Amino acid sequence: MADAPSAVALQGTLASIVGENHVISDRDRLASYERDWTGRWEGRAGLAVRPASTDQVAAVMAACGAAGVDVVVQGGNTGLVGGATPMDDEIVLDTTRLDEVGEPDPASRQVTVGAGVTLEEVQTRARRDGLDFAVDLPARGQATIGGMVATNAGGALALRYGTTRSSVAGVEAVLPDGSVLSRLSGLLKDNAGYDLPSLLVGSEGTLAVLTRIRLALTRRPRRRAVALIGVDDLANASTLVATFRDGLGDALEAADFVDRQGLELVCARLHVRDPLPRPCGIYVVVQVADDEDPTARLAAVESEDWADVVAVGEDTQRCEALWAYRESVSEAVAAYDVPHKFDLSVPLSEVAPFADAARLAIEALDAEAKTVIYGHLGDGNLHVNVLGFRPADDRPARALAPLVAEHGGSISAEHGIGRQKRELLGSTRSAAEIDAMRAIKQALDPRGMLGRDRVLPAAPDPRDEQDEVRREGVSR
C-alpha cells in the first residue's frame, strides 16, 4: 500500500522554492501556528512554509497539490473560529512575508498591499497622506489584510463604511492548482464576466490563497470625538443609537456596546476604575468624526436621560481610553476562561429580545455559566461569549443557533464559519445555497486540499441518502 502523503517528505521541495530558513519543521517553532490566542482552537501542523511572493505561493500550492498534501492559510492568527488553525498535519502557508506596501494613488485613492501586511501598517501609511482604511478592529497590530479580506472582516466602523468587501478594489490570488488570478487594476467599472474577487472575499481561505489586495481608501475626517454612555438595558441602548443615527447621519462612525459583566472583566484586567459615576446595565461607545467640531455635533443630540452618565473625549488619548472599555473585552474574557464565542447578527429591532432569550437559554443549560454580550450595536452584531463550559461542549452553540434563526439573524456576522460553525451553516442558509457553495468549492478545489473541513458542513453520506430514498419509497 502506498504511504499516506506526508508534509515532511515535501520539506526539500518547499525549501527549494522559498529558501531553507522559511520552511519550519521544528516542533517548538510550529507551536505558535498550532493554537489560536484564545486557547479554544488547537491542532497539529506538518510544516509551516513562508513564501515571499505570488510566484512562490503558486509553486508551493502546485507542489502540495502534486504530493496530495493539504494546506491551511494563516496570517496574523487572530481569527476566532478555528479557520486558520492547522489540523491533521496540514501545511501552514504563512502569508506574513507578503509584506509589500505600495504607494497610495491620490487620484483613485487606492493602494496595493501584500496579503501579509497588518491593518495597522495600512492605517499608518494611508494616514500619512490624509487618507484612511475604513475598516478597524482591536486586533489591528496583528490582523493581516489577507485575513481580513478572506473573512470579510467587519469591525466598529462598518456602520459608516461597510465591511471589508466595500474597501476591496481588486485581488491577486493563487488557486489550489497553482494558477494565478490577478485583478489589481482597481477599475471602478469592470463588468467583464463573473466578479471573481467578490467571490474570494469572505471565502475564508477555502477557495484560493490571497497574495495581493488593491484597497480602496477613504478621506480621513480631520476631527473625532468619542462618548461612553451608560443606559439601563439593550432596549434603551438601541433607542439611543437610533437617535444618534437620525441626529448625526454620516458623522456617526461607530456605535458599539458592552454589558456590565464585560465591563467588570475589563476593569479587572486593565486595573482601571468604572468609567461612569454609577453602574449601568449597558455601556454604549459612539464615535463621531467630522472636519468641524465633533463635540458640538454630539451635544446637539444629547438627551437629559443620559446626561449624568456620560464621558466624552476628543483628544486621541482620551478617545483611546474610552474605547479601551469596549475594545479590551475580548482579551479580558479570554483571560478569565476559554470562551465559547458566538458572533452573530439580528435585525436592530431584535437585538434586545434576542439577547434576553440567549441569556435565558444559557442559564437553562447551566445556572452558574457567565454570559457576556458586547458588539457593534449599530449593525445588530452581537458577540455572545459564554464562559464556564468545557471547550468541546457543543450545547451552548446548539442552544443559540436556533434562536438566531428565530430572530431572523445570521450565525456569523463578521468572524466567519471556519471549523466552529460548519455544522450550523444550515440553520441560517438554505440547502440550495449550500449546494451552490459546494459546487463552487468542487470547481476550484476538486481535491479539497485548501482549508479542508472548514466553512461547508460535512457532505451527507451517500448511504444515508439511499436509505432515505428507500424509506420514502416504502412510505409512499
Torsion of CA 85, 89, 90, 92, to 10 degrees: 60
- Is 448 one of the binding residues for ligand MLT (CB under 6 A)? no
Q: How far is the CB of 408 from ligand MLT (least distance, A)?
A: 21
Of 183 and 383, CB closest to ligand MLT? 383
- Is 40 one of the binding residues for ligand MLT (CB under 6 A)? no
Of 34 and 414, CB closest to ligand MLT? 414
Of 306 and 325, CB closest to ligand MLT? 325
| Ranges within 208-227 binding ligand MLT (CB under 6 A) | none
| Ranges within 83-142 binding ligand MLT (CB under 6 A) | 138
Q: How far is the CB of 335 from ligand MLT (least distance, A)?
A: 12
The number of angstroms, rounded, from the C-alpha of 206 to the middle of its chain's C-alpha atoms is 15
CB 193 within 8 A of CB 72: no
- Is 253 one of the binding residues for ligand MLT (CB under 6 A)? no
Instruction: Name the residue among 26, 47, 36, 18 with its Cα closest to residue 147.
Output: 36
- Is 343 one of the binding residues for ligand MLT (CB under 6 A)? yes
- Is 151 one of the binding residues for ligand MLT (CB under 6 A)? no
**Cell numbers at residue 163, please?**
465591511
Of 321 and 434, CB closest to ligand MLT? 321
Residue 308 CA to residue 301 CA, distance in Å, equals 14
Of 140 and 383, CB closest to ligand MLT? 383
**Cell numbers at residue 447, please?**
481535491
Instruction: Name the residue among 224, 221, 262, 204 with its Cα closest to residue 75.
Output: 204
Q: Which of 183, 212, 340, 383 binds ligand MLT (CB under 6 A)?
A: 383
Q: Which of 330, 345, 371, 428 binds ligand MLT (CB under 6 A)?
A: 330
Q: How many residues bind ligand MLT (CB under 6 A)?
A: 5
Transcribe 157-210 into DSSP letters: THHHH-SGGGGEEEEEEE-TTS-EEEE-S--S---SS--HHHHHTT-TTSS-EE
Q: How far is the CB of 138 from ligand MLT (least distance, A)?
A: 5
Of 49 and 329, CB closest to ligand MLT? 329
Transcribe 409-448 into DSSP letters: -BS-SSS--TTTTGGGHHHHS-HHHHHHHHHHHHHH-TT-
Contact residues for ligand MLT, defined by CB under 6 A: 138, 330, 343, 383, 414
